[in-house]
Amino acid sequence: MEQFSFSYQKTTVAELPTTIQHLIQASEDVARHAYAPYSNFKVGAAALLAGGSTMVCANHENASYPAGTCAERGLLAHINPTEADQQINAIAVSYISDAKTQTPLSPCGICRQTILEQQLAQNAPIAIYMCSTDGHVIYVEDATHLLPFYFSSKNLEL
C-alpha cells in the first residue's frame, strides 16, 4: 500500500511573521463584510501577492444556494496568475460564525481545486493559512497538500 503524507503546522496568529499576521487580519476584517444572511457563516479570504499588495474578498450567499460565491473563489477571480506581480505567495482564510466550534477553517473542495489551478498556472506554491475564531492557525506550504490527488490540465491531454 502506498501512502501520501505532508507536513503542516499548528500555530497561533501571534507566533507568525508580521506580514502574515497582517494578511490574517485582512481576512478577518473582510469577513465582517460578507453577505451571509442565510447561514450567518461569514468567510473572508486575503491573498498576499508577489508585488507586495494584499487583495481581499468575502463570501456572498444567494437565496438560490448554488449561486453563492465562496470568499476564496471570489478572491482568485480577480487575480491574474500569469502576471509576476499578481502571483500569490499566501492566502489566509478566516470566518465569523455563531457555530460552537472554533476550529481553523479549511477551504471547501471547489475552492481547493481553484486554489490549486491558480498555483499550477503561476508555477509557484501558494501557502495557505486556515484560521479559527480564537487565534489558532493551521498552515500548509503548498496547495497540493489540500488536494493530493488533484485534477489538472494534464488529465485533459490527448
- Render pLDDT for 108-121 as a digit per residue (tens, 0 to 9): 999 999 999 999 99
Q: pLDDT value at position 102? A: 87
28 is catalytic: no
Q: pLDDT value at position 56? A: 98
Q: Which CATH architecture has domain 9-153?
A: 3-Layer(aba) Sandwich (3.40)
Beta-ladder partners of 94: 44
Q: pLDDT value at position 65? A: 84
Q: pLDDT value at position 129? A: 98
Q: Map out the domains of the chain as residue ranges.
A: 9-153
Average model confidence (pLDDT) for the chain? Answer: 94
Q: pLDDT digits over 74-87, tens only?
A: 999 999 877 888 89
Beta-ladder partners of 83: none
Q: What average pLDDT does this structure show over 129-157?
A: 93
Q: pLDDT value at position 82? A: 78
Q: pLDDT digits over 36-71, tens only?
A: 999 999 999 999 999 999 999 999 999 998 899 999
Of the pLDDT bands very low, low, confident and very high (cuts 50, 70, 90), residue 93 is very high
Three-state DSSP state, 42:
strand
Which DSSP string corresponds to 4-38? -----EEEEGGGS-HHHHHHHHHHHHHHTT-B-TT
Q: Which three three-digit cell numbers place residue 8?
A: 503542516
Identify the active-site residue in 2, 28, 72, 141: 72
